[in-house]
């Protein structure tokens, strides 16, 4: 039975400042780089056989120390990107939430709503489902690590539990946290 480790990237300055990142590409902050090193040290003993990362810099900078520590090639996929928040990327989340009449840090709206020029939660869920299905069908590894963002982790966790997008719990996902799911 394969195990998937869902890993959130380290902190960026935008995270610290409460800015919406989405597909925008800020690098890790100094704290984020320290978190990535600590993550790599903490997972050294795990029998991870395959390591994937989003193509966004914050995920790559988190995954690279882990790849080096484990001696693995790092596979990269844009399918692991955070949800696109369109025109609201770079803006302070609390300001956008106030405009939309929601609470900062929540799913913003229903699963089919989107920020202007952005992506819906359902689209993110379907993107993650297709990626996970392909990896699980093709990978011989018993343990796979995916370095991504909070939104894709929530969607992957729900999909692997065979829950619909409407059941996704919008709980906090800490920087460099590891959520392990047995498939």
Q: Compute the C-alpha angle 57/58/64, nearest 5°.
A: 80
Distance (Å, whole) CA 82 – CA 80: 7
The catalytic site residues sit at 9, 82
- Distance, in Å, from the CA atom of 143 to the CA atom of 22, rounded to the nearest integer, reads 27
DSSP-derived secondary structure for 9-21: PPPBHHHHHTB--
Phi and psi at 143, nearest 5°, equal: -130, 125
């Amino acid at each position: 039975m394969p195990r998937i480790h869902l890993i959130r990237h380290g902190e960026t300055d935008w995270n610290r400042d409460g800015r919406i990142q989405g597909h925008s590409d800020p690098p890790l902050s100094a704290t984020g780089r320290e978190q990535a090193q600590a993550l790599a040290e903490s997972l050294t003993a795990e029998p991870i056989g395959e390591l994937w990362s989003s193509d966004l810099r914050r995920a790559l900078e988190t995954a690279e120390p882990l790849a080096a520590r484990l001696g693995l090639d790092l596979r990269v996929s844009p399918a692991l990107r955070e949800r696109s928040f369109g025109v609201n990327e770079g803006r302070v989340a609390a300001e956008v939430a106030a405009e939309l009449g929601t609470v900062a840090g929540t799913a913003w709206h229903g699963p089919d709503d989107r920020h202007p020029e952005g992506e819906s939660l359902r689209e993110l869920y379907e993107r993650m489902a297709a990626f996970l299905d392909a990896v699980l069908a093709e990978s011989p590894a018993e343990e796979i690590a995916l370095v991504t963002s909070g939104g894709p982790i929530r969607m992957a966790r729900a999909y692997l539990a065979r829950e619909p997008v409407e059941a996704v719990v919008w709980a906090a996902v800490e920087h460099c946290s590891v959520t392990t799911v047995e498939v």
